[in-house]
Chain A
């Protein structure tokens, strides 16, 4: 573990340790909070949810009289567990499974869905001193819950003293294991690898390839149940330092990683992103506040209505019926009904259909022609037809788009008379949002997305803000 921790520490030292304000929370996708209840003056990193609390790593001082440090003088990392309080917030942490390791770093962990297997990072050698020139690579281990104890510590079958394996994350179904390694043959530095469990055995590690990995470090993989892979990387294009990136697997290929927006990412190091099942809240680590790493929680600020009206298409088409004539035997009438729809179009028949170009007031008149004499009885009936649009926000966009292509969505046709509109808020149905009269969106994955357009008014004299929502499905096809 020393190598990776060293790497992290170097990053911490090199990159700015200055405070980073939580910029743009109000307008961002997430809002974040510093978990002061579990913070220490040391590094607190890599939180994961386990049962009714969060498990994280910390190198905080636990014994005022004795401190275990590595050869670089850095205190060793240990597991800590902070149970949720009545409000669901992590409370004062306590050491977790102290017997898992002795005299070695123990690092980021992953817990299987049933909570009975712990995957964690640890130095391959423990409990014995190594010389300063001797390497002690990191490896991945599992431990099984046995009552309140964690036993049966087992090294991962692909651990190798020649390189590091670390940051394990086991998928929710237990079928895939993601981890980081600097094993030869990668894209450079640390890469993310994946093993698949086949017939009880883990397959050979597979590098996720250049779509995900880069010559920079890729760390802390987290595969959310939604199918999106989050990881940390200090690659170019981020906000600064380590940033959280995401990519999705589509048709066997990983989509181009996209860096998460502020305030999850900042100019400081932001990493070890972990989202709860719904994806709307979770935790990550950042050193934006101080020199030390701290754990932050995030929650989505995405507005999504649970009951949003489906966008109704304005129809300017009507059927015109001469009701009295309809009751007659039309085959024996001696007259012909001629409609003037008031927009320059005419039609013949006791019933007629017509589509107008748009809203307006139309003077519909009915002439009746005597088929015997040829005489025309003008304006035998008239109807003032007022066509208005449906009062609703309107999403104007194509119905389909290819993944990776830019979709333009426009709310300009919104018809909400009397509403002093202040904001057009778009929820693209994939946990991304935007604001504006016209916005663009690129979907990475094929599928059907339910887009919501939420229109908000300026506060009225009483401070009341009116909001209206419509939704529309967009079909995203494969590239």
Chain B
């Protein structure tokens, strides 16, 4: 799917507006309350586990003024052990590839919505494939150090962009993992002003049947957006999906069933322009659905993909009711 850069002109300002010290570089981010990213091995091409393409792409944006080496870390990168999702026996291998340089972000096929073509564009800076490795089970693996200058400088963001692609190159187990970028190789030390984003989010829902466990993702709505079209996959009708914004208190949107896509459209309100939406996913309270893995992406009226930021641009949107009082005759 084509990535259109023109939809993101506000980022260059807003990226730097992320509060310093915010743990924005962990993916999923703390505001998202998502337990894990997930990628399945592509063997058999079975998508009903909740992964439509066996690949996930994330981008890291580092402020241009950040010059120090940094690291990209992966939590539980292997497939096997306590965290991951087993299908029959552990036979899955995951390949992590980190790209920088020209085209790693701006290439039209680089967004990872559909891992076809040159979605691994740019300069390969590091790659490693993991099978089952007990030493890395529930531990962080660190790539780097990387030189921020090795990313693709994207002027509109005033950032150097790096890309990490996780491909399930073999097997059919589910790999549950997280990312972080850090100043240090042995701990997650945030980089002020950095952020992470993706155009298609594949993640694991909480297993808990307590509906207080609500997950969020935060698409950014740029100027000119009239409506958005949401696509979600394999939600197994597991709960409720509502959209919250500064002007929208919980519009209910449809969720997909098992191994199917659900597409819905929602008009954008004027006050939502230039801010993030809050997609909230509530687990169903009655029926417990375990190990539910889901996929979601959003487009605007032109078919341009909208990014989900781990740290929502402009902060978590808070709906503000506005009371109007009209005397009655």
Contact = CB atoms under 8 A, between A and B. Distances in A.
B315 to A, nearest CB: 18
Contacts of B128: none
Given A318-B327, A372-B240, A381 B322 contact: yes
B251 A333 contact: yes
A163 B320 CA distance: 95
A320 interface: yes
A321 B323 contact: yes
A353 B319 CA distance: 23
A324 B251 contact: no
A333 B328 contact: no
B6 interface: no
B250 interface: yes
Interface stretch (A15-23, A363-371, A417-425): A363-371
Interface in A362-418: 364, 366, 368, 370, 372-373, 375, 380-383, 385
B248 A324 contact: yes
Given A324-B248, A329-B251, A381-B320, A317 B327 contact: yes
Interface in B286-327: 319-327
Contacts of A328: 248-249, 251
A381 B211 contact: no
B324 A321 contact: yes
Contact of B321 (A329, A366, A373): A366
Interface in A435-457: none
A372 B321 contact: no
A211 interface: no
B282 A373 contact: yes
Judged by DSSP, the binding face of A is strand
A310 interface: no
A319 B323 CA distance: 10
B247 interface: yes
A315 interface: yes
Contact of B249 (A318, A319, A324, A385): A324
Interface in A298-329: 315, 317-325, 327-329
Nearest to B267: A329
A324 B325 contact: no
Contacts of A383: 323, 325
Nearest to A355: B328
A324 B319 contact: yes
Contacts of A322: 321-324
Nearest to A327: B269
Contacts of B322: 322-324, 381
Given A315-B329, A317-B327, A370 B250 contact: yes
A337 B253 CA distance: 19
Nearest to B254: A332
B252 interface: yes
A319 B211 CA distance: 34
A463 interface: no
Contact of B328 (A353, A368, A375, A381): A353
B242 A372 contact: yes
A400 B134 CA distance: 94
A381 B328 CA distance: 21
A435 to B, nearest CB: 32
B212 interface: yes
Given A317-B328, A383-B325, A368 B249 contact: yes
B264 to A, nearest CB: 10
Contact of B211 (A318, A329, A368, A372): A372
A319 B325 CA distance: 6
A462 interface: no
B325 A334 contact: no
A385 B239 CA distance: 39
Given A324-B248, A324-B249, A329-B251, A385 B325 contact: yes
Interface in A332-349: 332-335, 337
Contact of B326 (A319, A368, A373, A380): A319
A318 B212 contact: no
A279 to B, nearest CB: 37
Interface in B227-246: 239-240, 242
B247 A324 contact: yes
A364 B323 contact: yes
Contact of A315 (B249, B251, B327): B327
Given A318-B328, A334-B242, A372-B282, A380 B211 contact: no
Interface in B249-263: 249-253
B247 A373 contact: no
Given A318-B328, A321-B326, A380 B321 contact: yes
Contacts of B320: 324, 380-381
Contact of B325 (A318, A332, A372): A318
Interface string B52-80: 00000000000000000000000000000
**Taking each of A323, A327, A335, A372, which has the highest tally of chain B beta carbons within 10 Å of its own beta carbon?**
A372
A403 B321 CA distance: 55
**Taking each of A321, A329, A337, A370, which has the highest tally of chain B beta carbons within 10 Å of its own beta carbon?**
A370
B323 A332 contact: no
Interface string A250-279: 000000000000000000000000000000
A327 B322 CA distance: 11
Contacts of B319: 324, 380
Nearest to B247: A324
A320 B212 contact: no
**Taking each of B239, B249, B328, which has the highest tally of chain A beta carbons within 10 Å of its own beta carbon?**
B249
Given A334-B240, A353-B328, A383-B323, A325 B269 contact: no
Contacts of B212: 373, 375
A324 B328 CA distance: 20
21 contacts: A321-B323, A323-B324, A324-B271, A324-B320, A324-B321, A328-B248, A332-B251, A332-B253, A333-B250, A333-B251, A334-B240, A334-B242, A334-B250, A334-B251, A364-B325, A372-B211, A372-B239, A380-B319, A380-B320, A380-B321, A381-B321
| Shortest 3 CB-CB contacts between residues of A and residues of B | A381-B321, A334-B250, A317-B328
Interface of A: 315, 317-325, 327-329, 332-335, 337, 353, 364, 366, 368, 370, 372-373, 375, 380-383, 385
Given A319-B327, A381-B321, A381-B323, 16 more contacts: A319-B328, A320-B325, A321-B323, A324-B247, A324-B249, A324-B320, A324-B321, A324-B322, A335-B250, A364-B325, A372-B242, A373-B212, A375-B212, A380-B320, A381-B320, A382-B323
